[in-house]
Structure 1
Amino acid sequence: MEQFSPTDMKTILHSKRANMYYLEYCRVMQKDGRVLYLTEALSNKKSGENQYFNIPIANTTVLLLGNGTSITQAAMRMLAQAGVLVGFCGGGGTPLYMACEVEWFTPQSEYRPTEYLHGWLQFWFDDDKRLDAAKTFQKARLDYLERIWTKDLKGEGFALQDAVLQSSFETFHNRTDAATKQSDLLLTEAQLTKSLYKYAANAVRIEDFKRQHDSSDKANDFLNHGNYLAYGLAACCLWVLGIPHGFAVMHGKTRRGALVFDVADLIKDAIVLPWAFVCAKENATEQEFRQQILQKFTDHKALDFMFDTVKNMALNLGGSSIQQNDLEEQEALVGRSLERQNDEDTEL
């Protein structure tokens, strides 16, 4: 069988890739130059027959491994060559008891692009500029929400012109503009999200909803699951641009991986929140919800929006003199560097 080089597997840009996978109770392995997952055929348990399913890694951004999974070193090597992020999580895409977050494993390369990191650091150490960046993120998330809800959720009972929503949006803008520190923004964000929870619950007629991360009702479960899918996209975006996850602008300098939460927030309220409630109302299964969310991420170009927002902030807010390179050039650099590493390994 013809073997793919790392460059071949980089043909599809990360910002255009269509697939995210959550797997459980299976073994992920490399076989005949492909990454597969192996599961026991339920109908053939007595005979011990196994079933293999292909994972199209060149068109995949994130692979989530849940309960009862294992993965081989050879499979991890191919996933790294294709630039696929791998995350270990609890059942249903959310953490296990006593776990705090998904642990993302990012492909390693000593030839990571540096332009966006340089631009990011030019403003990050300045408290005022970092606050401006946080405000930019907050305004971008609400602009995206208004755009998505206008075109996508009318048929589900979500009316963007609702007086309660408009009042919440106005308050959000006023308090965001007046904020003097990150904690002010976090409080404003929490108040807006609380209002959105209440509005969404009323829109789909779910009574007495209360946001609880360890709750067992479908709306809370779907919110948890969808949020972790958003975290995967955010981590992928930051890895491609070469910006470490610790350089957050809002969630705090001491929280490891906080920038992932900052970037994921750009799309959570716009896509994950409403569809978690809609799917809960329809009594959807976890798999049906996941398929719905992934389709909405694709329809509304969520990953493109993340890339554009982070790139613009890195290159413009810091007053960087660096000329903005096309994302295609950056991702091509990633592919060439991984191919170079692969050649070096072969020589060794």
Structure 2
Amino acid sequence: MAYGNLHKLPKISDRLSYLYIEHARIDKEDQAIAINSDFGGTPVPCAGLALLMLGPGVSITHAAITTLAECGCLVAWVGEFGVRFYAAGTGTTRSANNIMKQAKYWTDERMHMKVVRMMYEMRFPDRLDPNLSLQQIRGKEGVRVRDTYARLSSQYGVKMEKREYDRQAWKNADPINKALSVANSCLYGICHAAIVAAGYSPALGFVHIGKQLSFVYDVADLYKMETTVPAAFKTVAAGEADLERRCRTACRDEFHQTNILKKIVSDIHKLFDQDLSEFDEVDDYAVDQSAPGYLWNPQGESSAGGIMYAGTDQEDKKW
């Protein structure tokens, strides 16, 4: 049975965070999926999963993709260890209301700046001085990040000279930079899933601009210093063996313990002055995904779609 009514699915904020798979075959199994490899088969209840990350060596059937889409689980195709993003599917919502509001904020310079300041203020315990310029705010953020790296380096006894790695020479990166890249890629995936599931565009960023994942980077930066960065330092401090896998596991546990999906969705709505309690009712297409949309009018009120407007005195007829 297909999930025709999206209201029957778990909300994105209630779901598990993510699952990373490589070198396996994914098939449909009943109303879920099964991961099959040389080690056997494992069923996965995808209706309770927010993000499925597919790494190298994965094949997936059409039926499995259909099941994942119907369950509202975002599927992302990523590179080895999840450190590169290639493509993604769709989330749970079918309404464009939130993405239209995001676009309105993005195009209005005053509202755009309001969102930028909010995103920086969310990273500090105290409200920022309203007289600070954007350049000054960025300077404060740079100090915060630098001090966090220094504190964690001292706390865990992990040497870190600077944050850098060469994407073309991944294996040459030092352990802490490698762990930070793996951890942040997991956070990007979770943020991407939350953004798409909540009905927003990952491309319309406010602090970052110009890339298809700009808003993903915006949102992820709100949580890095409290989630993935400590997880990376802690993982490296425990040893370098099997570093990437242990780092992903540490991030998964951190995301679960902090209920980060719920926080991400809530924080995104706050950026655009939306109450999280109202979000559950805004998707007009949750019950019927094939229902026609509306037609734009310059007066601000939309007209019903799926109707032939013949321009005569005859009653307009639905297609």
TM-score normalised by length of structure 2: 0.78
Q: Give SS of 2:225's match.
A: helix
Counterpart in the other structure of 1:92: 81
1:311 Cα shift?
0.7
Counterpart in the other structure of 1:15: 13
Counterpart in the other structure of 1:54: 43
- Picking from 175, 179, 201, the partner of 1:244 is 201
Against the structure 1 CA distance between its residues 123 and 300, is the aligned structure 2 distance closer, same or farther, given a 3 Å change threshold?
A: same
- Structure with a larger share of its residues in strand: 2
Within-5 A mapping of 1:29-108? 29-41=27-39, 51-95=40-84, 102-107=85-90
Q: Give SS of 1:178's match.
A: coil
Counterpart in the other structure of 1:141: 123
Against the structure 1 CA distance between its residues 301 and 330, is the aligned structure 2 distance closer, same or farther, given a 3 Å change threshold?
A: farther
2:263 aligned with 1:305: yes
Counterpart in the other structure of 1:153: none
For the residues of structure 2 that align with 1:315 and 1:124, how far apart are their CA atoms? 14
Q: Give SS of 2:287's match.
A: helix
Counterpart in the other structure of 1:207: 159
For the residues of structure 1 that align with 2:222 and 2:261, how far apart are their CA atoms? 10
Q: Which amino acid aligns with 2:16?
A: A
TM-score normalised by length of structure 1: 0.72
1:303 Cα shift?
1.4
Contact kept, 8 Å, 2:74 with 2:91, in 1: the verdict is no
Q: Kindly indicate whether structure 1 or structure 2 has the higher relative contact order, using CA contacts under 8 Å at least 6 residues apart.
A: 1
Question: Bigger shift: 8-17 or 264-273?
Answer: 8-17
For the residues of structure 2 that align with 1:73 and 1:9, how far apart are their CA atoms? 24
1:239 Cα shift?
1.2
2:239 aligned with 1:287: no
Counterpart in the other structure of 1:159: none
For the residues of structure 2 that align with 1:67 and 1:29, how far apart are their CA atoms? 16
1:59 Cα shift?
0.9
Counterpart in the other structure of 1:122: 104
- Picking from 267, 271, 277, the partner of 2:223 is 267
2:233 aligned with 1:277: yes
1:131 Cα shift?
1.7
- Structure with a larger share of its residues in helix: 1
Contact kept, 8 Å, 2:54 with 2:78, in 1: the verdict is yes
1:335 Cα shift?
4.3
User: What runs of 5+ residues in structure 2 fail to find an aligned partner?
Assistant: 167-171, 293-319
1:140 Cα shift?
1.1
Contact kept, 8 Å, 1:6 with 1:82, in 2: the verdict is no
Contact kept, 8 Å, 2:7 with 2:287, in 1: the verdict is no
Residue-by-residue CA offset, 1:44-77 (whole Å, 9 max, x unaligned): xxxxxxx111122011011111121122221111
Residue-by-residue CA offset, 1:297-325 (whole Å, 9 max, x unaligned): 12212111111111122136xxxxxx876
Counterpart in the other structure of 2:287: 336
Question: Bigger shift: 305-314 or 189-198?
Answer: 189-198
Q: Give SS of 1:15's match.
A: helix
For the residues of structure 2 that align with 1:281 and 1:334, how far apart are their CA atoms? 48
Contact kept, 8 Å, 1:88 with 1:103, in 2: the verdict is yes
Against the structure 1 CA distance between its residues 298 and 329, is the aligned structure 2 distance closer, same or farther, given a 3 Å change threshold?
A: farther
Contact kept, 8 Å, 2:46 with 2:73, in 1: the verdict is yes
Residue-by-residue CA offset, 1:215-270 (whole Å, 9 max, x unaligned): 53332222111111111121122212221122111012x22220111111111111
Against the structure 1 CA distance between its residues 219 and 10, is the aligned structure 2 distance closer, same or farther, given a 3 Å change threshold?
A: farther
Q: Give SS of 1:86's match.
A: strand
Q: Which amino acid aligns with 1:288?
A: R
User: What runs of 5+ residues in structure 1 fail to find an aligned partner?
Assistant: 42-50, 96-101, 144-169, 317-322, 342-348
1:334 Cα shift?
5.9
For the residues of structure 1 that align with 2:35 and 2:202, how far apart are their CA atoms? 29
Q: Give SS of 2:122's match.
A: helix
Bigger radius of gyration among the two: 2
Q: Give SS of 2:281's match.
A: helix
For the residues of structure 2 that align with 1:191 and 1:6, how far apart are their CA atoms? 49
Q: Which amino acid aligns with 1:262?
A: D
For the residues of structure 2 that align with 1:85 and 1:53, how far apart are their CA atoms? 19
